[in-house]
Amino acid sequence: MSLKVVRQYERGVLFRLGRVRGAREPGLRVIVPFVDVLHRVSLRIVTMPIQSQGIITRDNVSVDVSAVAYFRIVDAVKSVVAIENVQAAIDQIAQTTLRKVVGQHTLDETLSETDTINKDIREILDVSTVEWGVQVTLVELKDIQLPDSMKRAMARQAEAEREKRAKIINAEGESLAAAALGDASDTMMEHPLALQLRNLQSLVEIGVDKNTTVVLPAPLMSTIGELGSFLAREAAASTPLTTVADPGKAPSATISEPSLLKVTKEEIPVVPVNGGPLVKNS
């Protein structure tokens, strides 16, 4: 008699004289030398990388796609009797299935719908490997390599899309700002003092930076101009009248040049002529 140990994560497939006698559970097993043969089969999940495949998508774009598959043996007897090398067989069928499924999708679908592609590959592998006593638990696309020209084209497309969104957002902001300015102008029309307050606020904002910029609002400039005109009129009105006496001529009134006021004859005062009596010019 011979003793064999089957580990917890293994199952033993016993052959007696070349015939399958069934699976053996973990533990210490007794076999007959030269008569019985015990094959140990691991039931742990196996991680199998799927090497990169050159695939042409449905829209005629060449891409290189690699993936990874996870599987485990659920029937130890089938995995030994039905197929010679389980891992090699799953590797080959996974490569062909990956090429087939990805080739049915466009490039955009391959990049955006990876979950759907993973599910389709796993379902196809499950159907093919169920007769081998193998269950494929997960398939994931690991890497998708694009040609350099396609990368540049996609970069330009993404940049154009971002510029379009930026212009749309900018236009929406300008539209909202224009509407707000319209409302503000209506408010200032109803309340003229609000414009003066806004001018003062602008001056405060400019003065925060402690620069040498001097800003005079337009209403203030017009006010200064009106004040200058008023002072000129006041100065002209306050200029006194002067007269010049000529012995050979009648007295006349002269007005200083800054004054623009017209003086009538009735406003000329009465002055003596050559020490004689007062004469009133008519």
- What is the rounded average pLDDT of the residues 251-256? 47
**How many residues appear in the chain?**
282
- Contact call for residues 144 and 64 (beta carbons, < 8 A): yes
DSSP at 3: E
Residue 165, CA atoms < 13 Å, CB-side half-sphere = 5
Does residue 17 lie in a domain region? yes
Tell me the pLDDT tens digit for each residue of 167-223: 999 999 988 888 888 888 887 777 777 767 777 777 777 767 666 666 655 555 566
Residue 159 belongs to a domain: no
Domain for residue 175, yes or no? Answer: no
Cα radius of gyration rounded to whole Å, the chain? 53
Name the band, by pLDDT with cuts 50, 70 and 90, for residue 70.
Answer: very high
Q: For position 211, what pLDDT does the model report?
A: 64
3-state secondary structure of 210: coil
Distance CA 188, CA 258 (A): 42
State the pLDDT at residue 253: 46
Share of the chain above pLDDT 70, in %: 76
pLDDT in tens, 263-273: 444 444 444 44
Residue 248 inside a domain? The answer is: no
pLDDT digits (tens, 9 = 90+) for 28-60: 888 888 888 888 999 999 999 998 888 888 888
Q: Considering 111, 131, 150, which residue would you say is the last residue of a domain?
A: 150
109: domain CATH number is 3.30.479.30
Q: Is the dihedral of CA 105, 109, 111, 116 positive or negative?
A: negative
Q: Are 109 and 175 in contact (CB under 8 A)?
A: no
Query: Is there a domain that residue 94 lies in?
Result: yes
Residue 122 has pLDDT above 70, yes or no: yes
- Last residue of a domain, which of 98, 123, 150? 150
CA pair distance 164, 158, nearest whole angstrom: 10
DSSP letter for each residue of 148-174: HHHHHHHHHHHHHHHHHHHHHHHHHHH
Arithmetic mean of pLDDT over the chain: 79
Boundary (domain end) residue, out of 150, 172, 194: 150
Check: CB of residue 196 under 8 Å from CB of residue 204.
no
Q: Total domain count for the chain? A: 2
Burial 186-219 (b: 16+ CB within 10 A, else e): eeeeeeeeebeeebeeeeeeeeeeeeeeeeeeee
Is 97 a domain residue? yes
Parallel, antiparallel or unpaired: strands 2-6 and 36-42? unpaired
Q: Which two tokens stand for residue 278?
A: 């007062």
How far, CA to CA in Å, does 109 sit from each of 69, 105, 149, 246, 269? 21, 6, 19, 113, 108
Contacts 24+ apart (CB under 8 A), 139-142: 139/67, 139/68, 139/69, 139/70, 139/94, 140/67, 140/68, 140/114, 141/65, 141/66, 141/67, 141/114, 141/117, 142/49, 142/50, 142/66, 142/67, 142/68
Write out the residue range of the structural domain in which residue 6 sits: 2-42
Residue 215 placed within a domain: no
Task: Check whether residue 73 and residue 144 sit in a common domain.
Answer: yes
